[in-house]
Amino acid sequence: MENIIREEMDAIGSLEIKPTVVVPGELWKESGRWDSMGEALLRVKNRLGADFVVSPTAEEAFTSIVRDELSSYRQLPLSLYQINTKYRDEIRPRYGVMRGREFVMKDAYSYHHDDASLDEHYQAQGRAYRRIFKRCGLTVIPVRADSGAMGGSGSEEFMVESEIGDNTLLLCKSCDYAANVEKAECKPDYSPRLSPDQAKEAAADIPPVEKIDTPEVKTIEELCAFLKTDAKSFIKTLIYRAVNVELDLSGAPGCGNLTKHKAAPGAPETYPEAFFAVAVRGDLDVNEAKLAAALKASEVTLAADTDVIRVTGAPVGFAGPVGLKTAPLILDRTVTGMNDAVTGALEKDKHYRHAAYGRDFDGWLAADIRTVRAGDRCSACGGELYEKKGNELGHIFKLGRKYTQSMGLNYLDENGKSHVPTMGCYGIGLDRTLASIIEEHHDEQGIVWPVSVAPFHVVVIPIKYQGAVKDACGALASELEAAGLEVLLDDRDERAGVKFNDADLIGIPWRIVVGDKTLAASRDGKPAPQVELKRRGETEARLVDIGKAAAEIAGALRRELAELDGSLIQ
């Protein structure tokens, strides 16, 4: 599999290097990710007390190398890649190599003088990824994705469908729209967003906002039952804690005492911690990845109960947008079309009804922060969306100048003027890809490897590894290898059934069985030594002349490889 990746990376002009896995912490402080990566980043100290990082990803390491070498525009574009071990301190490693703390990845990084050059290489990487996965025998679903802590202007994930997948995909039944739930958008199912003035006009016929008693009623379900209405009539307000916020909060409600922090010279300034009130229609959920992106935060989590009480002045369950002045109010766009809603009144056992956007409250920021779900309408064509579970195998990003700017990477143009290059990032998880190949290609007996990634093409199994059988096996193995096949000769002192089962379990595509009886076979009174030939997955073996076995398997192998390599998705 590494060879397949190397061939495709080399074909688009990417050069292989191998930087160290343990990287000085100063590089991560320069980029600002020493703090923003959170607890997944494994930080260590050497005997002198200096900070180091066991790399979970290599933007900093590659940019540091390029910074020492790049001087002229003539060196751009530049694309480098590695196949190397990574480490992430996953809170819940699971499913063997599908999500482990230590893993092998291919990641590439490209540097460009402008966005057009970046886009051209980004598209080339995307085509290479489609070829790689096709050659590995995988059916992938390219989806729009959230860039997360990587940053940047855009990204695409390559997913495989999986019952144990840790990603949810939204796909359209009518067009080719596909997105990770963290990024998915849908056609609005609410009134168009109104300006505050338009909202006031729309609310002219709505009764004034009214505070009502709702004893021991906290949840949306309890409110629906208490007021005999449905969740679409409610505004749900949640308090979130955000970490490393790049968004400018100067002048934002409740943020007067916040100060920005810079992890290192050149790193972006961020607020280490800030709290936000987030309002969404009552039947919907907040998409935390979208919220983090809107706030330019490295992480968002629901606030602790003590922080909710401090921000709202009320017990948990009674937050609402009307009269909230202690934190910036983030509105999902569904809320900007609501002019007769029920919401918390910032007081125990109290709610408001007839709350109207623009008249009774306004947001500090309005954005799409809802979680899209099955049954919503496609934003591209209006068709119905459906869900699939999937695993991410690869991810490509347009990073822009996030790392090159913060780490002081520059080059001189033809006029001697200094510029900051723009950057792309392209990763494939080899362990996850191998696990996904097995998940897509297996049966009750074990693995059914595609020939392109099988550990061996052929296993030669002698019934008893002695005498004429031993000689025939050695000659046959040599002939197969001369034909370009990778051969495993199972010379163990085991019963034939054990060897058959092991070959199926390992998933070797072709099996040749050599025994005294078939070697002694005759045809028309003349010796016609034969062997049993069986393709993995087929139920019956067949006899072929021993002299024709190598040519037959080599021909079949070439056809299968051509099928995997051909009809490439562009």
Look at residue 169 and tell me if it is in a domain.
no
CA distance 14 to 6: 9
Same domain as 451, residue 433: no
132 Cβ neighbours under 8 A, 6+ residues apart: 4, 5, 8, 394, 428
Q: Is residue 163 part of a domain?
A: no
Q: Which two tokens stand for residue 372?
A: 């899209």
Burial class (CB in 10 A: 0-12, 13-18, 19+), 385: buried
DSSP string computed for 206-253: SPPPEEEE-TT--SHHHHHHHHT--GGGEEEEEEEEEEEE-S--TT-T
pTM above 0.85, yes or no: no
Final residue of a domain: which of 367, 388, 411?
367
- CA–CA separation, 546 vs 306, rounded Å? 78
- Whole-number pLDDT of residue 567: 42
- The per-residue pLDDT for range 86-123, each reduced to its tens digit, is 998 877 777 777 778 889 999 999 999 999 999 999 99
C-alpha 377/C-alpha 186 separation (Å) is: 6
Which has the closest alpha carbon to 165: 495, 527, 440, 363? Answer: 440
Q: Does residue 469 lie in a domain region?
A: yes
Domain count, the chain: 3
Tokens coding 283:
């039947």
Asked, for residue 336, whether it belongs to a domain, the answer is yes
Q: What is the DSSP letter of 463?
A: S
Domain range holding 254? 196-367
**Residue 518 per-residue DSSP state:** H
Strands 42-45 and 51-54 come out as: antiparallel
Alpha-carbon gap, residue 437 to 452, rounded angstroms: 11
What was the pLDDT predicted at 267? 66
Contacts of 564 (CB under 8 A, 6+ apart): 134, 135, 136, 137, 450, 451, 452
**Contact call for residues 504 and 487 (beta carbons, < 8 A):** no
Are both 504 and 484 inside the same structural domain? yes
Regarding whether 340 and 420 lie in a shared domain, the answer is no
The answer to whether the beta carbons of residues 156 and 176 sit under 8 Å apart is no
Same domain, 219 and 352: yes
298 in the same domain as 331? yes
For 507, left (φ over 0), alpha (ψ -120 to 50), or beta?
A: left
Tell me: do 454 and 528 sit in the same domain.
Answer: yes
Q: How large is the angle between the packed helices 2-11 and 115-135, nearest 10 degrees?
A: 150
Partner residues linked to 446 by β-bridges: 443
Of 393, 419, 439, which closes a domain?
439
- Residue 288 is assigned to a structural domain of this protein: yes
The pLDDT of residue 76 is: 97
Tell me, yes or no, whether 161 lies in a domain.
Answer: no
- Those residues with Cβ within 8 angstroms of residue 293's Cβ, 6 or more apart along the chain or in another chain: 146, 147
How far apart (Å, rounded) are the C-alpha atoms in residues 362 and 339? 12
Residue 251: partners with Cβ closer than 8 Å, 6 or more residues away:
none
Residue at 373 is within a domain: no
SS3 call for 485 = coil
Same domain, 434 and 472: no
Task: Identify the pLDDT of residue 446.
Answer: 94
Q: Are 433 and 454 within one domain?
A: no
Burial class, 105, CB count within 10 angstroms (exposed 0-12 / middle 13-18 / buried 19+): buried
Q: Report pLDDT for 570.
A: 32
Rounded Cα distance, 353 and 228, in Å: 13
Note whether 344 and 407 are same-domain residues: no
Q: How high is the pLDDT of residue 527?
A: 65
Please give the pLDDT value at position 192: 60
Q: Taking a C-beta distance cutoff of 8 angstroms, is the pair 466, 512 a contact?
A: no
pLDDT tens figures, 325-345: 999 999 999 998 888 899 999
Distance CA 305, CA 327 (A): 15
Q: What is the DSSP letter of 378?
A: B
Residue where the block lists tokens 């016929």: 205
Q: Which residues of the chain fall short of a pLDDT of 70?
A: 145-153, 190-196, 263-267, 521-527, 566-570
The 3-state secondary structure of 368-429 reads CCECCCCCCEECCCCCEEEEEEEEEEEEEEEEECHHHHHCCCCEECCCCCEECCEEEEEEEE
CATH number of the domain encompassing residue 10: 3.30.930.10
Quick check: 34 and 59 in contact, CB under 8 A? no
CATH number for the domain spanning 257: value is 3.90.960.10
Give me the pLDDT at residue 326, please: 94
The answer to whether the CB of 385 falls within 8 A of the CB of 376 is yes
Alpha carbons within 13 A on the beta-carbon side of 12: 25
Residues 464 and 435 in one domain: no
> Do the domain assignments include residue 144?
no
Last residue of a domain, one of 349, 367, 385: 367
How far apart CA 159 and CA 180 sit, in angstroms, is 9
208 and 263 belong to one structural domain: yes
**Residue 291, Cα to own-chain centre: how many angstroms?**
18
**537 with 510: CB under 8 angstroms?**
no
Residues 33 and 88 in one domain: yes
Handedness of CA 432, 163, 137, 8 (dihedral sign): negative
Dist. CA 122–CA 79, nearest whole Å: 11
Question: DSSP class of residue 319?
Answer: -
Q: What are phi and psi of 565, to 5 degrees?
A: -80, -30
Query: Cis ω on the peptide bond leading into residue 265 (within 30° of 0)?
Result: no
Distance CA 112, CA 97 (A): 34
